[in-house]
Amino acid sequence: MSRVSISEVNGMSEEQFQWVFKNVIELCQDAAEQVKKCRPFRDIAELCTAFHKYLDNLCLEEKLVILKLHPDLAGRLASQGELTKESTEEQQSAGLDKLTLIQKRMIDICNERYKEKFGFPFIICARENKVQSIINGLQTRYNNTKEQEIEIGINEVKKICKLRILDIIKEN
């Protein structure tokens, strides 16, 4: 899909909008359904803010659902080629498709330990990180409280969302 302007976004049918933005928050089409009601948008920043407000306005249980929709980094879905197009590209940009056996084992162990403690996958904006910073994040964030990790996770989802929107919209 070629990138679209903000005026084209504002002129999309409801179905088009939902299709184009259905995965800016991983596997959460409801976000696009709700955000489309906020049109028209003046610019990209306003569109991003609308998606971020969607996340902020969720109750705790709904935030947990959002976090659980994300795949493990370098996990089973990645190895089976079953990630969304966006997640595949993001994990590749961080180098997660080129792990050494030691790095893969370390990430797998840390992912499992993290999920056991918090009940959702470790989320980090892969496009803003590389393998070692992801491993470091898995290790250090494990020491946080569940409340801290929910907040950090949602903030990472916001970063991912913004970058995905920037992939769709062209600057005026």
Query: Per-residue DSSP letters for 37-76?
Result: GGPPPSSHHHHHHHHHHHHHTS-HHHHHHHHHTSPPTT-H
Residue type, 162: K
Residue 144 to residue 140: CA distance in whole angstroms: 8
3-class state of residue 169 by DSSP: strand
Torsion of CA 61, 33, 80, 1, to 10 degrees: -150
Given the residues 36, 63, 70, 141, the one annotated as active site? 70
User: Is 70 labeled as catalytic in the residue annotation?
Assistant: yes
3-class state of residue 87 by DSSP: helix
33 and 121 in contact (C-beta within 8 Å)?
Answer: no
40 and 10 in contact (C-beta within 8 Å)?
Answer: yes
Active site residues: 70
